[in-house]
Amino acid sequence: MDPKIEQAIELNAEHLRRILPLMHQHKIPATPENYAVWYHYVLGDEKALSARIDQAIAGQIPFSGQLNEELFALLNSPDQHLAMARIGEQLQALLRETSGAISATGERARSYDDTLQRLHSDLDDSPRQAASGMELLQAVLHETSQMRSSLQRMQQDFDTKSQEMDQLKVELEQVRHRATTDPLTGLANRTAFAERLETLIADAARNATPLHLLMFDIDHFKRVNDTHGHVIGDKVIRFVAKTLKEHACDNCLAARYGGEEFTLLYPASSLEEATALAEGIRHTIREARLVRTGSRESIGQVTISGGVAGYRPDQDPTDLIQQADEALYAAKHGGRDRIMVD
């Protein structure tokens, strides 16, 4: 919209809000002529007219039919008719703008729009009525009040629904987290691992980028459980998981694959980087000295074996997992506490 027209619309809307209460306060009949008089009073562009009205407001001159006619006579000139026509055009623009702004607010908005369109039509028929049209303007004010109430209810409903949606998002995120997280270690579970592996393989195939899978298994874990019990066994599992998390880079995914077996996905890495990461994890676990919380009794040395496999073109997820598992198997049968590369 032209800025000048937009400014005129805003200005006349403000005049409208001031004129109607003044006419009501002083019991001025709602006629086109009277509205034109009070329009110019609010506008302040007719000093003689404003002075007469100020006197009447001050109680010096009573508002009467005769005074109203005299006031209108001051405006009854060709120039004033042109001014009133301009007022009508600006009011019509205001109505068109308002009508467009509410077109998407539902049934209540459509009712409001109908009222505005009727007023618009009447204003087209008589430019002079554009300057007053008191009854029609009162209808617009009534419809505006109804619309405001409807919009307030809509806003309240929207706020409520928005809060409900926010809560639903939180709950869904909690469900998603539980569904993809191993409860003992906080690592990704096997389901999350499988989903991420499939995505990374697709990326590697599409972009010809490297991808490595590291697979680990706690050595002699059954002996730990048999000797120290499942509580200590869980503590060992959590320690290994914590070590994986601490060593994993930002774009890695560490997961508990099952039991005492773990995996780590390392995208965009060279074989040397993947092997160095696996060796760093193995070394940290080997050098740790785990003890019971109360008695400080040593649990004994904990070690892991690991296998490293790199993605090859046209492999599917099962192929890469099997490749890493074979490397892990070789580490186990090669004496444990070591990393083997396929």
Q: In what order do the strands lie in the sheet with 261-267?
A: 253-258, 261-267, 211-218, 304-310, 339-341
Q: Give CA 341 to chain center in angstroms.
A: 46
Dihedral sign (CA 316, 319, 325, 328): negative
Neighbours of 32 (CB within 10 A): 17
Q: Does 198 participate in catalysis according to the annotation?
A: no
In contact, 2 and 9? CB cutoff 8 Å: no
d(CA 20, CA 22): 5
d(CA 128, CA 123): 8
Give bridge partners of residue 261 from the DSSP assignment.
217, 258
d(CA 42, CA 306): 87
**Helix residue ranges, H only, 58-189:** 65-75, 78-101, 107-125, 127-130, 134-180
Sequence-separated (6 or more) residues with CB below 8 Å from residue 182:
188, 189, 241, 255, 256
Catalytic residue, candidates 89, 198, 246, 260: 260
- The catalytic residue positions are 260
